[in-house]
Homo-oligomer: A and B are copies of this chain.
Amino acid sequence: MAKPEEFAAILAGGGGTRLWPASRRGRPKQLLSLGASESLLAATFRRLSAIVGVGRTLIVTAADQAEAIRQALPVLPADNLVVEPAPRNTAPAVGLAVAHVVRRAGQDAVLAVVPSDAFIGNEPQYAAVLRVALAQASQAIVTVGIKPLRPETGYGYLQTGAKVPGSTEVCHVVRFVEKPDLETARAYLASGEYLWNSGMFFFSAGRFLAQARQHLPELSALLDQICASPDPAALTQESYPRVPAISIDYGIMEKAQGMRVVPGDFGWSDVGSWAAVGEIRPPDVDGNVISGDAIVKASKGSVVMAEPGAPLLGVVGVEGMVVVATRDAVLVVPKHRAQEVRRVVDELSAQGRKKLL
């Protein structure tokens, strides 16, 4: 059998306020560079297109983010931007990418579906793991599970089972589990059986459609129509907003049988808070991660970021602090409370200050 054609679909529709004030409704996390020379999205696109080719790397996004993505990724072929007419969560979004692939390359083509906003520290290792996952994708739904580094309560996990015959690394998936409490997370870590759910999935287009037929009949019906339609864009525009909103995890992955997982250990981070930003950028000798126009003195283990156009940041004598400035807002929070940025965002929301959200 010939090697199936390989595609990647980068899911870039998310919002998220965990990196406020840098992230906003109109400028989601994946468009931030966070002190690096490229945005998280651009890095994801670069990594995936190196594996499957630029022409087969798709981006799925929401209508209100399409323009920002075009501007951020001028190298993206226009046809490869798959736009949801309305946000219906990830299962329908992936469905649109699958329909696109079926129309271009048939049901045997395989897809890597990946979030747009993760950080990867070891790119060669990442590429190697993804090649293994893609090679398995004709035979099963495959995911990549991240070897856990700590009893993290902010991530979902998956339990691994026996090795897949003939492979030294690919395992069967026993089950997916939700974000655990700390005690459970510690038990997962100690067992050695659990991996973090990376949100990356690999499958043939046909297998996704079969799963949708079984678990998400309304989405399945729409996708079949789109695959066969002479005007798929109009049909999508008209009918997509009416399919039930559901995540690919709930809608398909937690129900699918025979899933496989490739364990990965490549410096993965979902960059879920400013504290995480401090872990993905190389620190200076004092453990500080500093970018932009900032003067930092007598400080340790802190994240200090000033965006272009932000006021100068003068920081003296702090430890483990996050200080982030944009043109119109500044955040100061200790690293270990970085998740509580939500409290500021909630207050701004309550005050109706949309410009700052």
Contact = CB atoms under 8 A, between A and B. Distances in A.
A330 B330 contact: yes
A53 interface: no
Contact of A311 (B20, B311, B316, B344): B311
Interface in A302-328: 310-318, 321, 323, 325-328
A104 interface: no
Given A318-B334, A329-B312, A295 B347 contact: yes
Contacts of A312: 21, 328-330, 348, 353, 356
Contacts of A246: none
A331 interface: yes
Contacts of A314: 20-21, 329-333, 341, 344, 348
| Most chain B CB inside 10 Å of its own CB: which residue of A21, A314, A347 | A314
A330 B311 contact: yes
A332 B313 contact: yes
A332 B343 contact: no
A18 to B, nearest CB: 13
A295 B349 CA distance: 12
A298 interface: yes
Given A311-B326, A311-B327, A311-B330, A316 B295 contact: no
A323 B344 CA distance: 15
Interface residues of A, number: 35
A311 B328 contact: yes
Contacts of A347: 295, 297
A169 interface: no
A337 interface: yes
A315 B295 contact: no
A262 to B, nearest CB: 38
A340 interface: yes
Nearest to A348: B295
A119 to B, nearest CB: 23
Contacts of A337: 298, 316-317
Nearest to A325: B330
Contacts of A311: 310-311, 325-330
16 contacts: A20-B314, A21-B312, A295-B347, A310-B311, A311-B325, A311-B327, A311-B328, A312-B329, A312-B330, A314-B332, A315-B332, A316-B331, A316-B333, A316-B337, A317-B334, A321-B332
